[in-house]
């Protein structure tokens, strides 16, 4: 039986959930795998003026906003302060990939689509709070990412965080002010709020602390998997919030349910670490694969990145078609601008810097 509904409350003792329409669903086993959400921004004004980047809608909104800025600059015949400056807050994989993609858009399709806009007026600034990019990767992988981004025109600022986001600027922890009308918040993720307030033991990142077999101490018949769980790794520290961890933990949780039907105890979850990878820009990526974390960089890593994402799709034909199409578009790019239907919400009121912006997310 499958039910499509939004969960409003969880009762782990009764192993039940209540949906937003008031329906209560109970079972012999409760498996929580509600994933994660964008972490709340820590900078003042970020929730009002920055664009989070977690969902497909967020990505579409950002793309529309960037092209909208170029369209307004072309209509005005001039680039005003901060109009084509794009600030990305976060030096992890999401921030790195976003900064690289923005640089590609500014240097490629947008430059061709809006030839009257001076390309020298555009800036992409990546701000990372840590001493290097791509925390969790090897030091030289983070260094390679910074080098590639700088070669593509991205200004990389490390060791400093974003302290304030206004309707037309950001202020960094060292006092630097950057005029901008588009701030992207890529500051990590936090567990879904499904488990909040239901009595389950919460730990780092709002995630549920679980045993190695994904069960929860004190709550028989409850399993938690994926980004919602702090799953202890071999060193005792929680496993990273990666798709590979979630997929494998999901299979382990399903196996535990089946074993329970036969009266057997669940087996400990053993994560098979296949490595990590991050796309930096067109034709450039970094991958750390295998137990020894063998490092692959550049075009081979980029091709591997495309192949892995295509492999996650369902259907052999769909995977093959997607890989060929993505590879062709990535390695032999056209000069067409993105086909977008832009709303009027992207227009800027240049006189409202002192007050609250009417441009949501600007």
- The verdict on 56 and 104 lying in the same domain is yes
| Cβ 277 vs Cβ 301: under 8 Å | yes
How far is 168 from 30, CA to CA, in rounded Å?
47
> Is residue 246 one of the residues assigned to a domain?
yes
Domain endpoint, select from 129, 164, 191? 191
Q: Which of 118, 136, 127, 92 is nearest to 280 (CA)?
A: 92
Residue-wise pLDDT tens digits, 164-201: 999 999 999 999 999 999 999 998 788 999 989 899 99
Q: Are residues 184 and 198 in the same domain?
A: no
Cβ contacts of residue 145 below 8 Å, gap of 6+? 96, 133, 134, 278, 280, 286
Same domain for 231 and 86, yes or no, is no
Whether residue 172 is found in the same domain as residue 44: yes
pTM higher than 0.85? no
Q: Output the domain CATH number for residue 218.
A: 3.50.50.60
351, part of any domain: no
Considering the domain architecture, whether residues 67 and 179 belong to the same structural domain is answered as yes
Query: In which band, very low, low, confident or very high, does the pLDDT at 141 lie, cut at 50, 70 and 90?
Result: very high
Residue 29 has a pLDDT of: 97
Q: Are 30 and 223 in contact (CB under 8 A)?
A: yes
Bridge partner list, 7: 19
Classify residue 349: in a domain, yes or no.
Answer: no
**How many CA atoms does the CB half-sphere of 229 hold within 13 Å?**
29
Task: Tell me how far CA of residue 47 lies from CA of 76, 185, 222, 302, 345, in angstroms.
Answer: 29, 9, 34, 33, 17
Per residue in 322-355, pLDDT tens? 555 555 555 555 444 444 344 444 444 444 444 4
State whether 233 and 323 are in the same domain.
no
Q: How far apart are CA 261 and CA 346, in angstroms?
A: 55
Shared domain check, 225 and 287: no
Q: Which of 70, 43, 36, 118 is nearest to 340 (CA)?
A: 70
- Which run of H or E residues covers position 47? helix 46-49
One domain for residues 104 and 185: yes
Only one residue has tokens 């879904």, namely 192
- Domain assignment of residue 242, given as a range: 7-32+192-261
> From CA 242, how far away is CA 227, in angstroms rounded?
8
CATH value at residue 45: 3.50.50.100
Task: Evaluate whether 172 touches 178 at the Cβ level (below 8 Å).
Answer: yes
- Within-domain flag for 174: yes
- Whether 329 is a known active-site residue: answer no
**Does residue 358 belong to any structural domain of this protein?**
no
The string of DSSP letters for 83-124 reads TTEEEEE--SHHHHHHHHHHHHHHHTHHHHH-TTS-GGG-EE
Using one digit for the tens of pLDDT, what is the confidence trace for 18-46?
A: 999 999 999 999 999 999 988 888 899 99
Total number of domains constituting the chain: 3
Based on the fold, state whether residues 66 and 130 are members of the same structural domain: yes
Residue 282: pLDDT over 60: yes
- Could you tell me which of 121, 94, 97, 126 has the C-alpha nearest to residue 110? 121
CA 118 to chain centre: 31
Regarding whether 70 and 41 lie in a shared domain, the answer is yes
Note whether residue 276 is domain-resident: no
Q: Are residues 181 and 77 in the same domain?
A: yes
Distance CA 182, CA 167 (A): 9
Whether residue 109 is found in the same domain as residue 180: yes
d(CA 219, CA 209): 12
Q: Would residue 49 count as lying in a domain?
A: yes
Of 154, 169, 191, which one is at a domain's C-terminal end?
191
β-pairing, 229-230 vs 208-209, is parallel
**When comparing pLDDT for 306 and 140, which is higher?**
140
CA distance 164 to 40: 14
Residues 6, 47, 83, 97: which is the catalytic one? 97
User: Is residue 361 domain-resident?
Assistant: no
């Amino acid at each position: 039986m499958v039910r499509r509904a939004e969960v409003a409350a969880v009762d782990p003792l009764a192993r039940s959930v209540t949906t937003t329409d008031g329906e209560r669903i109970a079972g012999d086993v409760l498996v929580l795998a509600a994933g994660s959400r964008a972490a709340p921004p820590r900078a003042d004004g970020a929730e009002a003026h920055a664009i989070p980047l977690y969902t497909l809608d967020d990505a579409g909104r950002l793309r529309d906003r960037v092209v909208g800025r170029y369209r307004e600059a072309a209509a005005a015949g001039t680039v005003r302060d901060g109009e084509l400056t794009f600030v990305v807050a976060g030096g992890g994989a999401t921030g790195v990939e976003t900064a690289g993609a923005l640089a590609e858009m500014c240097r490629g399709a947008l430059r061709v689509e809006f030839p009257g806009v001076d390309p020298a007026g555009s800036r992409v600034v990546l701000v990372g709070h840590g001493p290097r990019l791509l925390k969790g990767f090897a030091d030289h992988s983070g260094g390679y990412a910074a080098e590639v981004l700088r070669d593509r025109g991205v200004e990389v600022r490390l060791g400093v965080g974003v302290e304030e986001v206004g309707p037309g600027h950001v202020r960094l922890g060292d006092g630097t002010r950057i005029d901008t009308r588009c701030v992207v918040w890529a500051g990590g993720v936090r567990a879904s709020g499904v488990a909040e307030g239901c009595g389950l033991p919460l730990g780092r990142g709002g995630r549920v602390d679980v045993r190695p077999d994904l069960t929860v101490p004190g709550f028989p018949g409850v399993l938690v998997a994926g980004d919602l769980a702090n799953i202890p790794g071999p060193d005792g520290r929680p496993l990273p919030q990666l798709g590979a961890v979630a997929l494998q933990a999901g299979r382990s949780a399903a196996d535990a349910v089946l074993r329970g039907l036969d009266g057997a105890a669940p087996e400990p979850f053993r994560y098979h670490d296949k490595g990590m990878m991050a796309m930096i820009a067109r034709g450039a990526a970094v991958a750390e694969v295998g137990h020894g974390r063998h490092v692959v960089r550049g075009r081979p890593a980029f091709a591997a990145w495309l192949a892995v994402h295509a492999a996650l799709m369902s259907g052999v034909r769909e995977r093959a078609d997607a890989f060929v199409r993505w590879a062709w578009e990535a390695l032999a790019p056209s000069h067409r601008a993105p086909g977008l239907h832009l709303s009027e919400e992207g227009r800027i009121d240049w006189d409202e810097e002192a007050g609250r912006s009417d441009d949501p997310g600007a």
